[in-house]
């Protein structure tokens, strides 16, 4: 432990003396201060704070990632290139202690810079938060009453300086309607005729269709497929609202709130079905069986654009349920609400704790990049190592786009190239983490709660039902085990140590 600490301390001091460190620190200060005092956003106080948080945190993460890559790569490759490593390995110091000490020194320096940067961002955001909004500038009298009615101030306090959990509505309960529809079709056509018609539709050849129908298991399979098709049709109809009709959405698991707590927010997006309308008129009605029912919210929203409004927390029932009805008031237009287009956000934590968790997410990325820099730096030159690590960093940040672009098509038969690209990308992201899965800046800008389970997933492992996300190492007992960035960092360090251990640093002539 003493050897590791000695290398860590030496690396930390060496980082402070590096010129590139000074350059990046100056850039970091200029970017954070410049954005804090110059950015105005959309002219509102809320927009100014969101713009400041978005740009400052994103630039902080980018600059620290670049510092990590250049510092770690430069220190490791310089030790080998200038033969400094000879004096290190000739001492009673194991090579794994050298690798771990170098990594810890750089990560410690990056952690210190990250704390200073996030601390500055927090202080500046609090300074901007205290600035008056447009409504508050108009009159000093009854300022507290104006703050309660000011939508800009409400947005700042309830949407930014909060940590909010996102709740999705329950799937529509269509079982009763489905059984009635199946019963009606059986009464009209008969079960055998219903199955025979479906098989003929799927198998155009009449002789083959009869053979399929004569097989009992195939008849059962056909009937299950008929139920599945009907279920999809009824579910699709439940998500559509004719003019004057309503769609009911039920949210569960919310925290029953008192009158003095933060407001709830409903965020939604409306999709006109087979219509070119750009503006949709509608109303939202919230029903609470245990308490007051909110007045209808009459709104005119842009089609396919995200909108939102605030709700009184007392509208949540004692069981944590919230029932919301959307009423379509647009003449001659059917409005469709896709799954996930309507969500409820409720405050469950503070902005300060969310900022700390966001910092831990950024630190994890720095730890991984430092480990990758060590891995390549022990056997490659400085420019090649920088290029390799930058490619991995860029690929990880663009992981969402790359995976979507190479996803296999569902409606058509995939080509050979599509199969190749899809499984090639899946193989790449077994080793390269999906750095775009959780965004620290987006979470802070929107006030979205970064849950401890998110940190556990990123640092260690997560267990989930098998899906299409990358990162699968193995599956067991019907669950998918995904390795987090923390475990990948540890594995990368171990591989780097093994390569460094096997490398011959000097030959004998």
Q: What is the DSSP string of 375-405?
A: HHHTTS-HHHHHHHHHHHHHHHHTHHHHHHH
The closest of 141, 114, 10, 14 to 59, measured between CA atoms, is 114
Paired tokens of 255:
């925290």
- Domain count for the chain, please give it: 3
- Distance in angstroms (rounded) separating the CA atoms of residues 76 and 496: 11
CA dihedral 103, 109, 114, 120 (to 10 degrees): 180
Domain boundary among 349, 374, 398: 349
Paired tokens of 344:
């409820």
Same domain, 336 and 363: no
- Strand duo 279-287 + 297-302: pairing: antiparallel
- Is 155 contained in some domain? no
Same domain, 196 and 261: no
- Is 58 contained in some domain? yes
For 191, the 3-state DSSP assignment is helix
**What pLDDT score was predicted for residue 376?**
94
Same domain, 180 and 246: no
- Distance in angstroms (rounded) separating the CA atoms of residues 130 and 17: 38
Same domain, 220 and 274: no
**What pLDDT score was predicted for residue 40?**
75
Domain boundary among 349, 375, 396: 349
- Distance in angstroms (rounded) separating the CA atoms of residues 113 and 321: 44
Per-residue CA distances from 243 to 226, 248, 330 (Å): 30, 15, 6
Here the CATH number for the domain that contains residue 289 is 2.60.120
Same domain, 414 and 318: no
**What pLDDT score was predicted for residue 257?**
66
- Is 427 contained in some domain? yes
Same domain, 365 and 489: yes
pTM for the complete prediction?
0.83
Give the residues of the chain that fall short of pLDDT 70: 36, 88-91, 139-149, 257-261, 291-292, 411, 461-482, 505-509
Paired tokens of 437:
């899965």
Which tens digit of pLDDT belongs to each residue from 67-115? 999 999 999 998 888 877 777 666 678 889 999 999 999 999 999 999 9
Residue 229 belongs to domain spanning: 175-238
- Is 154 contained in some domain? no
Same domain, 447 and 345: no
DSSP state of 150: -
- Distance in angstroms (rounded) separating the CA atoms of residues 124 and 298: 37
In DSSP terms, 364 is beta-bridged to: none
Which residues touch 195 (CB under 8 Å, ≥6 apart)?
213, 219, 222, 223, 226
Same domain, 71 and 84: yes
Say what angle helices 382-397 and 45-81 make with each other, to 10 degrees: 150
- Is 374 contained in some domain? yes
**What pLDDT score was predicted for residue 353?**
94
Same domain, 417 and 326: no
- Is 191 contained in some domain? yes
Domain boundary among 304, 322, 349: 349
Same domain, 428 and 339: no
- Is 186 contained in some domain? yes
Same domain, 208 and 263: no
End-to-end CA gap in the chain: 36
Same domain, 382 and 282: no
- Distance in angstroms (rounded) separating the CA atoms of residues 317 and 21: 55
- Is 164 contained in some domain? no
């Amino acid at each position: 432990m003493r050897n590791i600490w000695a290398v860590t301390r030496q690396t930390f001091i060496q980082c402070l003396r590096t010129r590139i460190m000074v350059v990046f620190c100056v850039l970091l200060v200029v970017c954070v201060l410049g954005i804090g005092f110059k950015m105005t956003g959309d002219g509102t106080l809320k927009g100014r704070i969101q713009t400041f948080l978005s740009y400052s945190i994103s630039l902080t993460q980018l600059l620290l990632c670049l510092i990590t890559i250049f510092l770690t790569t430069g220190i490791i490759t310089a030790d080998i290139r200038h033969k400094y490593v000879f004096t290190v390995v000739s001492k009673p110091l194991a090579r794994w202690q050298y690798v771990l000490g170098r990594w810890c020194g750089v990560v410690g320096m990056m952690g210190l810079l990250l704390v200073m940067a996030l601390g500055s961002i927090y202080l500046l955001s609090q300074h901007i938060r205290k600035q008056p909004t447009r409504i508050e500038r108009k009159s000093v009298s009854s300022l507290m009453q104006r703050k309660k009615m000011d939508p800009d101030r409400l947005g700042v306090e309830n949407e930014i300086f909060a940590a909010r959990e996102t709740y999705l509505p329950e799937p529509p309960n269509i079982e009763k309607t489905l059984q009635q529809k199946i019963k009606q079709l059986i009464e009209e056509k008969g079960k055998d005729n219903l199955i025979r018609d479906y098989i003929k539709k799927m198998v155009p050849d009449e002789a083959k269709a009869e053979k399929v129908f004569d097989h009992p298991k195939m008849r059962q399979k056909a009937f299950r497929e008929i139920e599945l098709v009907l279920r999809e049709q009824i579910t699709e109809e439940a998500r559509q609202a004719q003019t004057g009709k309503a769609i009911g959405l039920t949210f569960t698991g919310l925290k029953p709130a008192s009158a003095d707590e933060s407001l709830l927010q409903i965020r939604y997006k409306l999709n006109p079905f087979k219509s070119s309308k750009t503006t949709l008129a509608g109303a939202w009605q919230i029903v609470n069986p245990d308490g007051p029912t909110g007045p209808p919210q009459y709104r005119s929203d842009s089609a396919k654009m995200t909108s939102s409004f605030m709700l009184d927390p007392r509208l949540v029932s004692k069981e944590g349920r919230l029932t919301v009805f959307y009423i379509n008031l647009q003449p001659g237009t059917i409005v469709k609400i896709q799954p996930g287009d309507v969500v409820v956000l409720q405050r469950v934590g503070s902005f300060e704790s969310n900022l700390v968790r966001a910092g831990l997410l950024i630190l994890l990325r720095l730890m991984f990049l430092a480990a990758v820099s060590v891995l390549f730096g022990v056997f490659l030159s400085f420019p090649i190592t920088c290029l390799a690590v930058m490619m991995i960093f860029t690929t990880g940040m663009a992981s969402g786009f790359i995976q979507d672009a190479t996803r296999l098509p569902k409606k058509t038969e995939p080509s050979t190239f599509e199969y190749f690209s899809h499984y090639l990308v899946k193989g790449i992201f077994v080793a390269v983490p999906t750095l775009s899965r959780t965004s620290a800046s987006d979470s802070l800008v929107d006030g979205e709660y970064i849950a401890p389970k998110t940190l556990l997933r990123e640092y260690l492992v997560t267990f989930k039902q098998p899906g299409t996300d990358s990162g699968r190492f193995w599956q067991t007992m019907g669950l998918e085990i995904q390795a987090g960035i923390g475990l990948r960092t540890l594995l990368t360090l171990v591989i780097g140590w093994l390569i460094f251990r096997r490398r011959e640093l000097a030959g004998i002539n």
